[in-house]
């Protein structure tokens, strides 16, 4: 009887091939990574809506709005009185601007703001009670890869909801309301 104390070359190669297959199967696909960026964009937008709403309630003499520039693929938080001037971010001190796309930060480079419906203008304003200046829900649509995310902000309470749907560039808003393109 022969005692075997090592693996053969074939056995080692089989193990390496199996590990390679398992590693490739475990890696997320590029499309799912891009779609995760779209989900991240909606979470960031929801947090910014909450911040603008809370700050407007805390400082009713200086309400905040979110101005969206679809053509520049960004939005910023600004005083309602001067919507073209972003406020300072409370943590960084830099202008409170969210840029998406190729010039945006990692994790948001594959995201596009495709359409908005903010009641005929390009700014979502909050009042001292946390409500918006909208008659119906404000809508901002993000797209990442083949997925579109439609985020709605209710007019009375400023509550935010997001729904995922199939990407159709520029299609946004509620039935009977056209999508608005921002500046």
Domain range enclosing 64:
31-166
Residue 55 covered by a domain:
yes
What CATH number does the domain containing 115 carry?
Answer: 3.55.40.10
Q: Which residues of 9-31 are buried (b: 16+ CB within 10 A; e: fewer)?
A: eeeeeeeeeeeeeeeeeeeeeee
Number of structural domains the chain divides into? 1
Residue 122 covered by a domain:
yes
Question: What would the pLDDT profile of 119-132 be if each residue is shown by its tens digit?
Answer: 889 999 999 998 99
Residue 9 covered by a domain:
no
CA–CA distance, 122 with 176 (Å, rounded to integer)? 19
Question: What would the pLDDT profile of 29-55 be if each residue is shown by its tens digit?
Answer: 666 778 889 999 999 999 999 999 999
Residue 4 covered by a domain:
no
Residue 14 covered by a domain:
no
Residue 57 covered by a domain:
yes
Residue 21 covered by a domain:
no
Residues 6+ apart with CB under 8 A from 108: 37, 40, 41, 44, 98, 99, 100, 101
pLDDT band at 168 (very low <50, low <70, confident <90, very high): low
Q: Which residues of 64-77 are buried (b: 16+ CB within 10 A; e: fewer)?
A: bbbbbbbeebbbbb
Residue 156 covered by a domain:
yes
Q: Residue 19 belongs to what H/E stretch?
A: helix 9-26
Question: What would the pLDDT profile of 69-114 be if each residue is shown by its tens digit?
Answer: 999 999 999 999 999 999 999 999 999 999 999 999 888 999 999 9
**Percentages (nearest 5) of helix, strand, coil residues in the chain:** 25, 30, 45
Q: Global pTM?
A: 0.75
């Amino acid at each position: 009887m022969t005692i075997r104390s090592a693996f053969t070359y074939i056995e080692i190669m089989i193990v390496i091939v199996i590990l390679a297959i398992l590693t490739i199967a475990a890696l997320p696909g590029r499309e799912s990574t891009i779609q995760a960026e779209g989900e991240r964009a909606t979470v960031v937008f929801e947090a910014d809506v909450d911040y603008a709403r809370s700050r407007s309630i805390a400082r009713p003499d200086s309400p905040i709005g979110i101005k969206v520039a679809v053509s520049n693929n960004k939005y910023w938080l600004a005083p309602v009185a001067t919507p073209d001037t972003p406020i300072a971010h409370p943590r960084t001190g830099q202008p409170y601007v969210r840029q998406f796309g190729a010039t945006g930060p990692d994790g948001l480079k594959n995201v596009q703001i495709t359409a908005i419906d903010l009641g005929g203008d390009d700014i979502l304003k909050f009042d001292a009670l946390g409500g918006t200046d909208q008659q119906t829900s404000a809508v901002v649509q993000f797209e990442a890869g083949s997925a579109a995310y439609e985020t709605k902000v209710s007019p009375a309470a400023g509550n935010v909801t997001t729904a995922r749907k199939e990407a159709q560039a520029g299609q946004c808003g509620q039935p009977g309301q056209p999508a608005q393109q921002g500046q």
